[in-house]
Structure 1
């Protein structure tokens, strides 16, 4: 069992801070727009850096950040950030299996599967092949964003070599899947101060 400190950014509205706090963590569901890793609770692990970025640059409206402690077995995290075996498993097993189903449905079924992506593959495997193929409680992923502020070459000779640089901070997300909420513990208000103060006084 490991413990991961994580942060979640949520919009605020006119409701009382205590009402908002009681409703957290926010659960993201597929609707008009697919969630990256299917339905679940999405967090920024280790630091509030990207939690604040998400609120300021993406939400662009008043927001708050809540800190959580995720208690989970390491082997139950499907890690597409740092686990080579998991990344290969996704492309060589999960994606190929889904692509075969996708082609079959495209040719022979009136109900076509959505095209293969990380979101559609993970959602399908969790819903139909959880026990035998995708028995995980959470998943880590990052995107291809390059952090120019913290980007640096590995050696003085690296500038002349393709891709030989450290790309800086990675936008890593951890998704705890919908039916694994028991892994989310230790809820603490984190930002802004007003949010923290109100919840502290109510405790």
Structure 2
């Protein structure tokens, strides 16, 4: 088991005490990428800032937390190739039963696994949404951390990728130690 740092981006409603007492907060979007749950950015606070600006303009809060990460508890579609193969097999099976088609979203597959597959007992899922941070928006260029492999070739290394972890329950992965990291005026550890 490894301790992992997570960041949750929230709209700033001027209620830092409420946030620290009640965090984390469930995503309430109907089109949440990974289904119902508590969404976090994995390790890189830059991604939490990017999402704050995209979603809330200049008025956002970033909470920092820790969790106990293991691939026994988290279905990891970023770093566990066995999980990736399991996901692929699930898609093949669902296609063979005509349960999904080319328009089926990731969240529908995750929801199916959670609801219908008894041995899918994970507490969370971890993914990297390719092209989450648009290549075409100059305003967000500073949030891209990419290096090319070869001059004049399109391939690159994304060394701070936009990896998300969705916790299925509020206490999944033993999430703990919530505190506001940003903005500075809400962070008691900030020194002027």
TM-score when normalising by structure 2? 0.79
- Cα distance change, pair 17–88 in 1 and its aligned pair in 2 (3 A): same
Query: Is 1:124 matched with 2:112?
Result: yes
Paired residues, number: 181
Structural mapping, 1:12-23, within 5 Å: 12-14=12-14, 16-23=15-22
Secondary structure, aligned partner of 1:74: coil
Determine the structure 1 residue equivalent to 2:147. Answer: 152
Query: Is 1:193 matched with 2:184?
Result: yes
After the TM superposition, which segments of 4 or more aligned residues of structure 1 sit over 6 Å from their partners?
none
The CA RMSD measured in Å over matched residues stands at 2.9
If each structure's helix is expressed as a fraction of its own residues, which one has the higher value?
1
Q: CA deviation at 1:17?
A: 2.1
Determine the structure 2 residue equivalent to 1:53. Answer: 50
Secondary structure, aligned partner of 1:135: coil
Query: Is 1:140 matched with 2:126?
Result: yes
Determine the structure 2 residue equivalent to 1:96. Answer: 92
TM-score when normalising by structure 1? 0.75
- Cα distance change, pair 174–160 in 1 and its aligned pair in 2 (3 A): same
Q: Give the Cα separation in 1 of the matches to 2:9 and 2:69.
A: 21
Q: CA deviation at 1:174?
A: 1.1
5+ residue gaps in structure 1? 107-112
- Cα distance change, pair 46–150 in 1 and its aligned pair in 2 (3 A): closer
Q: Give the Cα separation in 2 of the matches to 1:167 and 1:20.
A: 32
Q: Give the Cα separation in 2 of the matches to 1:9 and 1:195.
A: 14
